[in-house]
Each structure stands twice: as structure tokens, then as C-alpha cells.
Amino acid sequence: MAKVDRRIIRTQEAIKKAFLELMSEKNFDSITIQDIADRGNINRATVYLHYMDKFDLLDKIIEEHINNMANLCESEAEMNWIESTVHCMEYLEKNYLFFSTMLASGGAPYFRSRFLQHNIEEFKKDVDLTKGKNFGQSEDVVAEFVANAYVGVVEWWLKNGMPYSTKEMAEKVGDLLERVL
């Protein structure tokens, strides 16, 4: 793997941060590349050096977080629901600006759809229809139900300024997940 210049990483982080701050303040359609450059204190051409346009930037940011969440889920395969959910809630808290902008403010409905689809796929891995409480159910229905509930609770938590600590929230959500899955 080639080593990436730290200046490139810092520049991309400045662009992403500027973009997310702007999205938390105004509608995506009204944000320009010049706005992003001004907020990030960089040249407009520098933004274009890294991203084709604001749509490409949004896609890359979303993809990065979805991949991070997927990697987090893979590394937690052997954990119980509460332990696993603690890590997810910590990730959400650490990336509050992104998730609150994308979910809570309605800044990018496209992200909510991608986030939901990611969670549906992850929960499908844990649905056991051969015995117990989900015996005879449809895998699709159970996964849709759980994923929509999870995304809804995450939205609520972020919209309300994270009224519970990550650990408390993880315990509450993890306990609910154990009841359903």
C-alpha cells in the first residue's frame, strides 16, 4: 500500500469538515465549491483536485462512514448485542457532526437510505428463523423491522442532543436487539 502524504490527508479532512459544517447550516443544493473552499481556507482548485464536484464529495464521505461501520460490525462478530452496540454508539458520538447532519437535520436523505440498507444487511446476518421467537418469520421482514427501529432510535438520540451517554444508549438498544433477534 502506497504511503499517502499527510498534507493530502489534512487537506481532504479540511474539505470534509468544511462541507459538513456548511451542510449543518444550509441546504445541500445551495452549497457551492467556493463555499467549501472558503470555509476550509483552501483554494477552490484544491477542492477539484480531490473531488469532481460536491456530489462526489458527498458520495465519498458517505462511503467512508458506511465502510467504517461495516468494518466495525465485522470486528464485533463475536460480541453480544450490548458490547457491539457500545462500539457503534461510540463511533456515532465520535462522528457526531457527520451523523447529526446526515440523519438529524435531514441534510442528506440519500445517506439515511444507504445507512438503513447497510443496517438491513448487517441484521440479516443475525436473524435466526429456525427456532425461538423468530421461527416462521420472514428474514426480510425481521431485518427491515430491526434496521428501521435502529436507525430511528439513532436519529432520535442525535436530534435530542444524545440525552443518554453512549454506554447507556448502547445498553438500552442492545437489550432491545437481544429481545428481537
Best CA proximity match to 51, nearest among 25, 16, 2: 16
- C-alpha angle 118-28-72 in degrees, rounded to nearest 5: 25
**pLDDT tens, position by position, 136-179:** 889 999 999 999 999 999 999 998 989 999 999 999 998 888 88
Q: Which residue has the higher pLDDT, 118 or 110?
A: 118
Q: What is the pLDDT of residue 46?
A: 96
Mean pLDDT taken over the chain: 88
CATH assignment of 1-51, given 1.10.260.40, 1.10.10.60, 1.10.8.60, 3.30.750.80? 1.10.10.60
Q: What is the pLDDT of residue 119?
A: 92
Q: Which cell goes with 47?
A: 477542492
Predicted confidence (pLDDT) at residue 74 exceeds the cutoff of 80: no
| Spatial separation of the C-alpha atoms in residues 105 and 94, rounded to whole Å | 17
| Spatial separation of the C-alpha atoms in residues 33 and 172, rounded to whole Å | 41
The three-state secondary structure class of 115 is helix
| Spatial separation of the C-alpha atoms in residues 102 and 100, rounded to whole Å | 6
Give the residue-averaged pLDDT of 47-68: 94
| Spatial separation of the C-alpha atoms in residues 70 and 37, rounded to whole Å | 30
Q: What is the pLDDT of residue 147?
A: 95
Q: What is the pLDDT of residue 84?
A: 80
Best CA proximity match to 69, nearest among 86, 92, 101: 92
Q: What is the pLDDT of residue 150?
A: 94
| Spatial separation of the C-alpha atoms in residues 157 and 164, rounded to whole Å | 8
Predicted confidence (pLDDT) at residue 115 exceeds the cutoff of 80: yes
| Spatial separation of the C-alpha atoms in residues 5 and 76, rounded to whole Å | 31
CATH assignment of 55-180, given 1.10.3720.10, 3.10.450.50, 3.40.720.10, 1.10.357.10? 1.10.357.10
Instruction: Give the domain ranges of the chain.
Output: 1-51, 55-180
Predicted confidence (pLDDT) at residue 81 exceeds the cutoff of 80: no
